[in-house]
Structure 1
Amino acid sequence: MIYFDNAATTAPYPEVLQTYQEVASKLMGNPSSLHDLGVQAKRLLEASRQQVASLLGKSAEEIFFTSGGTESDNWAIKGLAFEKAVYGKHLIVSAIEHPAVKESAKWLQAQGFDVDLAPVTKHGFVDLEALENLLRPDTILVSVMAVNNEIGAIQPIKAIAQLLENRPTIAFHVDAVQAIGKLPIADILPQRVDFASFSSHKFHGVRGVGFLYKKQGKKISPLLTGGGQEANLRSTTENLPGIAATAKALRLTLEQVDQPAQMQELRDYLLEELASFPDVTVFSGRENFAPNIVTFGLKGLRGEVLVHALEEEGIYVSTTSACSSKAGKPAGTLLAMGFPLDLAQTAVRVSFDGENQLSQVEAFVGAFKQIYQQTRKVRV
């Protein structure tokens, strides 16, 4: 089996699974309980929070554990909107955001908020001039992802941070789900970023866990109320085994300092090989693109057809994002970049991990060559 769908989810590190199992089996106390088992659980919870914060160069009071990237995005967008509604109801999100952000913004429109989509260039980067022109006195939030999940375009987070530097009334949210282990933390979280979303299973943690970074002093309304956990901002009994495993996964991932270069080597090799096929359109690039993602399309062949053809060869890729591919939707990023629908529907995404090898990419190219030839007649 060759697994090239790491942008959808990564395999947990063995050490991460061991941590999860040990905490789940040996530390059954509820962190809110008063007895000793509860005290031990609370101690581990806060130690995990401190470790995550230290790895990001932040304080423990700025880390709030959630169920994953989708909840973190929803909380950041909706919670911020309701918290600041008295100051304005205008939000800006980029046209290529994950559905967790775009659908949250769409939902807020139905609640009376005003939402603008910041356009992107033909290469998939947020148009800074257009974004600046969208800013209004009543703008309360700008949300732009760090790394686009469909084509891997690295968004100009530092430039946007600079654009918002003298606009303190506008909160800046970054969806950083695809960025850990691919970009330096300083590029993901410059000082001007107020909120950022993370998901454990994207960096070899377990599913169902994530966290939201909230800059100290910034306010946000809770979406979940009840027991008062997470500083009374996110009520529900904490997933302690998953949280401890997340802290371990983040540390192990950030220690792999050579992996981005290794993934980039695989990416560049695949890009060179794909350039030799006349009927292939490559949507991803090299400069200012994540080192692990290559998205391309084969003219005349829908993406899901190619996905299943590769699957028969034991190679696993996806159309674009896992959420969109399951729903049968074309890559929204490609449509926002100006590609026609028929071409956007051909897109498949190959996403590497540090454990992938060049021999696997060579096997992928060999399998693709066969499929390319076998489908030539039906693609005409």
Structure 2
Amino acid sequence: MSTPRAGHRPSAAAFRLGGSRLPRTVHPGAWWLWALGLATAASRTTNPLLLALILAVAGFVVANRRGDAPWAQAFRMYLFLGLFIIVMRVLFRIIFGAGAASGHVLVDLPEIPLPAWAAGIHLFGPVSLEHVLGGFYDGLRLATMIVCLGAANALASPKRMLKAVPAALYEVGAAVVVALSVAPQLIESVHRVRRARRLRGGAQKGMRALRSIAIPVLQDALDRSLALAAAMDSRGYGRNRHLPRAIRLLTGVLTLVGLIGVCVGVYALLDGSAPRYLGATMLPGGILVAGIGFVLTGRRINRSVYLPDRWRFAEFAVAACGLGTGALLYLTSRIDAGNLYPSLSPLAWPELAPLPVLALVVGALPAWLAPPPPLTVPRLGDTVPRPDATARTPTPGPADAGTTIREKSVR
């Protein structure tokens, strides 16, 4: 049996048979569907154990399947934002939600009297454990939903998402994509400028270094904006066909009414107190009307798409895992919602049920089902292919045993 030569690169088929997969970029729509499924699951519970598991699932998938692009480094920012939301929610409960608090009083703050027109609002007063836990549960749920959306931003390329936007929403989608990519690009520019200053021996810090950093960062941002504008113009951005005014008015009304119906239907599905028929009728009707508007509006927009992203098995698996997680939590909230909403009066310890835990296990499967992302810089521990066999160094003989590379170069 012949052994492979040193420096020999295996083929794509051998790479797949070896148990690994070739790195490629997953369709951004699949990651957004996965994240929206997790966010839907988080909206159906206030159980801190389940919310902590959802945060762990989102962080685990991001840690295993994010690349090294600028937007992939923004997940930490969403974690800090979630922590800020939790703290502010608890503070609001202490400031405005105390007053005639009943239960386990933690601290008795002096209450500030308010005029008669502000009846029902309390400023400070006795703070109970039930009020603090209620604010913590609500803040943790909102923070978990935001972190799930941050996971989608860290995994999905906003620029590649623009190719999947319908032609009717192409202009709006381009504006949203540019807005989402501003902060990551600025962070990347700051890092690049600071690295260049260190290589040049710049030792200034604090406000003194602001002038030498701000101007190159603004220039880099301007250059990127001009390059983006040229790329959008070369792909036909803003070039519309001429259509009669009546058709343009009809398509605009259909699109707007359809999107409103979709928003109302999604809110009715996420809100447990809303009637079931509202979400079951408004969401399909809004999607149908908006789809007709998209088709009619897309006829007047000319754009070119270079190598469109295709949906493969990995994309369908990632989207199905996220949607399955949201569907299982939604089913649990309809069948047995006792463990999803821990009792605050009387106080009870939160518990875990088998079905929600199984749903979150399904949500973590994209860490293995999705292919690894392509990296521009190899990670620590990754195997780097050797150069071609013609450039390999000869095997050292007995005379060279025990000699170092530096000793050989001296000779």
Q: TM-score range by the shorter chain?
A: under 0.3
Q: Which has the higher contact order (CA 8 A, sep 6+)?
A: 2
Structure 1-normalised TM-score? 0.23
Structure 2-normalised TM-score? 0.22
Greater helix share, 1 or 2?
A: 2
